[in-house]
Chain A
Amino acid sequence: MADPILRLERLSKHFGALRVTNELSLDVERGEVHAIIGPNGAGKTTLISQISGALAPDHGSIVFDGRDVTGLSMAQRARAGLARSFQITTILPNFTVLDNVALAVQARQGHSFRFVRAVNRDRSLTDAAAAHLETVGLLERAGTRAGSLSHGEKRSLELAIALATRPKLLLLDEPMAGTGREETERLVAVLKRLASDYTMILVEHDMDAVFALADRISVLVYGEVIATGAPEAIRENQKVRQAYLGEEA
């Protein structure tokens, strides 16, 4: 259990009187898919935001890949290998699907103070971007304006963008949110394939997806992890059944 990719130590975040993250400590091991589940408003997105750097915790620390990143900006953490997909789709609507991914490839290749060469003729960008689109099954939509994709396709694009940064840890905030049954199954299959190459934190409400993908599950309720363990253990856990799974039905 030594050398986790991510270690959260006594992380806390308040919004006014509301404690959204409460002295939360958590380790994510290299290579695992770590699902975080919990009822609406439990603080899952807030936690992801603190890990990715979009929100600063009130106190506590975030150690990523052996380095304290608590004070780093979101862009710095992204460059260090933390990639995030957003619960609320965040893409560049006026770029093509391909260009959305190419921008992430470009970011990965170093600074962008390059003024001369035309980006759309740069095969090192377009080829890599196309490969990531293929991974998520969106290649035939490469030339489409991203803003005119269907909701499900936008979710896939989010994933392709995150992959293009070649992250050491993928933070996925409800990647299946709002997608249809078929689309969800397709995304689960994609994530299943990716799971052998990537470490992931997966926030998800769809329990079938969670149990299909997760190596370990943490249950978050009122900003606290009430249980962490293998899927079977979580399924049997009495506290969890009361606090969360019971509400499902």
Chain B
Amino acid sequence: MAKTASPATPSTAPRPSRILEGTWIPLVVFAILAVMPAVSVALDDSFLTLFVIRVMIFAIAAVSLDLILGYGALISFGHAAFLGIGAYGIGILSAEGTDEGLIAVPVALVAAGLFALVTGAISLKTRGVYFIMITLAFAQMAYYTTTSLSAYGGDDGLTIWSRTEFLGHAILDDRTTFYYVTFACLLGAYLLCRMIVASRFGRVLTGAKQSEVRLQAVGIDPYGYRLVAYVISAMLCALAGVLLANQTEFVSPAYMGWHRSGDLIVMVVLGGMGTLHGAIIGAAAYLVLEEVLQDFTEHWRLIFGPILVLVVLFGHGGIVRLLSILSGGRNRG
């Protein structure tokens, strides 16, 4: 799924080095993730595997957000709602005695998809700040709905007594298996989004971001495309929620709090919007920084805030941009 330039005319033919330039970062990222369990064994550090699973789960959520944020310029400030719906889907079904993943996972994803379809249909009628506010409002609605679910723990959240099984096999109980299931989900989500943004659908999405009028003038109404992208993004984010519920064996309203939605945006911006692998790197950087700074002070956000401001002001394009500059790639705007 490498991103290559248009082959139509000689002047557009990319030099081989330019093609590599675009793909080495995701290759390295996934290579590192693939060997992490072995590294963790070598270092005799079991926390590391758990931590990287968490990173990959949030990376899935961040990649899903980048699909609409980076490629569609849709600033969803309520994306954590989909994470929460995915997690609650698993939690509630488990509480009701359904641990079978072939049922629970599709139910959780479809629930998030339907929520996105309804709220997206309304939100996408608005633009800019209004879109931010209305997606936030819908997420807060979901948040307060879960706090009032007294049968499922309400404010206190819900403990999941047994992890999702597949055809009766409790495969997620094994840490390494859980790791590679999460890895496969992340890789799958990444490749799916890569494919989508390179398709006709993706071109409409990225075109609409630049000039809605231009698309209208050639006969394309972007609304339906944005809505479908929103639903796809929500379902991928719900997949992250499914994994998160299984890892923590717990779900709570906090999963869909507005600060969680903000975290996801920060991850995408920090890593580099509109690149997909930037979202993965951003999620990793965010969680590592959080982990490190937390050890210094409980007011870690006070340090984290300024770092973020610096990235936004000076590191336009995020970490990914920085990496390609450092590796001698051309500065492309």
Question: Which chain B positions have C-beta within 8 A of A126?
Answer: 6-8
A192 to chain B, nearest CB (A): 24
Set of chain A residues within 8 Å of B224, measured between Cβ atoms: 113
Between B7, B12, B206, B219, the greatest number of chain A beta carbons within 10 A of the residue's beta carbon is seen for B219
B window 38-74: CB within 8 A of A: none
Which of B263-321 touch A at CB < 8 Å? none
Q: A27 to nearest B CB, angstroms?
A: 24
Q: Chain B 9-28, CB within 8 Å of chain A: the 1/0 string? A: 10110000000000000000
Tell me if B's interface is mostly helix, strand, loop or mixed. helix
Contacts of A98 in B (CB 8 A): 6, 8-9, 12
Answer yes or no: A120 CB below 8 A from chain B CBs.
yes
Chain B residues with CB under 8 Å of A106's CB are 200, 203-204
Give the residues in chain A near B195, CB-CB below 8 Å: 115-116, 118
A240 at interface by CB-CB < 8 Å: no
B207→A92 contact, CB < 8 A: yes
B145 at interface by CB-CB < 8 Å = no
Query: Does any Cβ of B come within 8 Å of A196's Cβ?
Result: no
Q: Which residue of B lies closest to A146 (CB)?
A: B210
In the assembled complex, B132 has its CB within 8 A of some CB on chain A: no
Q: Give the complex CA separation of A54 and B216 in angstroms.
A: 9
Measured between alpha carbons, how far is A83 from B220 in the docked complex, in Å?
12
Tell me the smallest distance from the CB of A85 to a CB of chain B, in Å: 9
Complex contact A119–B203 (CB within 8 A):
yes
Q: Are B219 and A78 in contact (CB under 8 A)?
A: yes
Contact present for B8 and A129 (CB under 8 Å): yes
**B96: min CB distance to chain A, Å:** 34
B50 → chain A closest CB, angstroms: 34
Docked complex Cα distance between A169 and B241 (Å): 51
Q: How far is the CA of A86 from the CA of B213 in the complex (A)?
A: 10
How many residues on chain A are close to B (CB under 8 Å)?
50
B138 at the binding interface (Cβ < 8 Å)? no
CB-CB under 8 A from B6, the residues of chain A are: 96, 98-99, 120, 126, 142-143
Q: Does A94 contact B (CB under 8 A)?
A: yes
Q: Check B199 for interface membership: any CB of A closer than 8 A.
A: yes
Given contact pairs A115-B195, A142-B6, A99 touches B203 in the complex (Cβ within 8 A): yes
Contacts of A79 in B (CB 8 A): 219
Chain B interface residue count, CB cutoff 8 Å, equals: 33
CA distance A92 to B214 in the complex (A): 7
Q: What is the distance, in angstroms, from A11's C-beta to the closest C-beta of chain B?
A: 20
Q: How far is the CA of A79 from the CA of B217 in the complex (A)?
A: 9
Chain B proximity of A111: nearest CB distance (Å): 9
CB contacts between A and B, total, < 8 Å: 133
What are the residues of chain A within 8 A of B8 when measuring CB–CB?
98, 126-127, 129-130, 142-143
For A40, what are the chain B residues with a Cβ–Cβ distance below 8 Å?
none
Assess A117 versus B7: contact at CB under 8 Å? Given A73-B221, A83-B217, A92-B211.
no
Structural contact, B12 and A91, CB atoms closer than 8 A: no
A108–B11 CB distance below 8 A:
no
Q: Are A74 and B216 in contact (CB under 8 A)?
A: yes
- Smallest CB–CB gap between B243 and chain A, Å? 24
Residues in A with CB closer than 8 Å to B12 are 96, 98, 142-143
- Inter-subunit contact A115/B218 (CB<8 Å): no
A115 in contact with B196 given A126-B6, A139-B9, A143-B5 (CB within 8 Å): yes
Query: Is B162 engaged at the interface, CB distance under 8 Å to the other chain?
Result: no
- Are A75 and B9 also in contact (CB < 8 A) when A114-B200, A120-B198 are? no
A219 to B130, CA, bound (A): 43
* Residue from B202, B203, B214, B228 within 8 A of A90 (CB atoms): B214
Contacts of A118 in B (CB 8 A): 195, 198-199
A36 at the interface (CB under 8 A from B): no
Given A92-B210, A120-B5, A142-B12, the answer on whether A78 and B216 have CB atoms closer than 8 Å is: yes
B202 engages A119 (CB within 8 Å):
yes
Shortest CB–CB separation between residue B8 and chain A, in angstroms? 4
Contact (Cβ within 8 A) A112 B218: no
A-side contacts of B9, CB under 8 Å = 98, 130, 139-140, 142-143
Q: Is B201 an interface residue (CB 8 A)?
A: yes
Q: How far is the CA of A36 from the CA of B166 in the complex (A)?
A: 70
B4, CB-defined interface residue at 8 Å: yes
Q: Nearest-CB distance from B214 to chain A (Å)?
A: 5
Interface residues of A in 68-114 (CB under 8 A from B): 73-76, 78-79, 83-84, 86, 90-96, 98-99, 102-104, 106-108, 112-114
Q: Does B30 contact A (CB under 8 A)?
A: no
Q: Does B225 contact A (CB under 8 A)?
A: yes
Q: A73-B216, A112-B201 are in contact. List 4 more A-B contacts (CB 8 A).
A: A74-B213, A95-B206, A95-B207, A114-B201
29 pairs from A and B in contact (CB 8 Å cutoff): A73-B216, A73-B221, A74-B213, A74-B217, A78-B216, A86-B213, A90-B213, A94-B210, A95-B206, A99-B6, A106-B200, A107-B218, A108-B218, A112-B204, A113-B201, A119-B200, A119-B202, A119-B203, A120-B4, A120-B6, A120-B198, A126-B8, A129-B8, A143-B5, A143-B6, A143-B8, A161-B214, A165-B218, A165-B219
